[in-house]
Amino acid sequence: MQLTQKETSLLKDLKEQEQICVEKYSKYSADACDAQLKNLFMQIGQTEKQHLNTVNQIMGGTVPAMQSGGNQQKQSSFTPTYNTADSSQNKQKDSYLCTDLLSTEKHVSSTYNTCIFEFKDTNIRNTLNHIQKEEQQHGEQIYNYMTQNGMYN
């Protein structure tokens, strides 16, 4: 598989974005106050590591096969940790972490969207689309946590 210069450049951008995601989820899982949030960040962080590995494989000339059914939404229900009137420092800190990661997921999903249209190889496009759907699911999981804990306006 021969990548164009533009495709190679786009993959480098995706790699940087995925590295940032891996680092943020690792750091934020350690920084989160709520145990449920720590767990959520660790789970998403593992998926981000898989995304980084996939991008690296594509850069190396291999398009990995995506697991069928991997696009299925993981239903996540959270027992609210904070009530809507709670304005504790822990809730404020966790809210900040969630807001930052939700913003990051929006940006990363948008980056994948642009890249999908720029690749000529259908298998690469499908792989990037698969990852983009997972990024959107990450955003939804964070959004759900935030709304259930009175953190999203």
Alpha carbon distance 60, 96 (integer Å):
36
The predicted pLDDT at position 143 comes to: 97
The predicted pLDDT at position 24 comes to: 98
DSSP of 49-116, one letter per residue? HHHHHHHHHHHTT--PPPPTTTTSPPP-----SS-TT---HHHHHHHHHHHHHHHHHHHHHHHHHHHH
The predicted pLDDT at position 82 comes to: 78
Alpha carbon distance 9, 1 (integer Å):
16
Each residue's pLDDT tens digit in the chain (153 positions)?
899 999 999 999 999 999 999 999 999 999 999 999 999 999 999 999 999 999 999 999 999 887 654 445 555 678 888 776 677 999 999 999 999 999 999 999 999 999 999 999 999 999 999 999 999 999 999 999 999 999 987
Q: Go through 86-101 and write b for each residue having 16 or more CB atoms within 10 A of its CB, e for each that does not.
A: eeeeebeebbebbeeb
CB 119 within 8 A of CB 14: no
The predicted pLDDT at position 84 comes to: 65
The predicted pLDDT at position 62 comes to: 93
Alpha carbon distance 35, 47 (integer Å):
19
CATH architecture for segment(s) 5-55+88-148: Up-down Bundle (1.20)
The predicted pLDDT at position 68 comes to: 57
The predicted pLDDT at position 70 comes to: 47
What is the length of the chain?
153
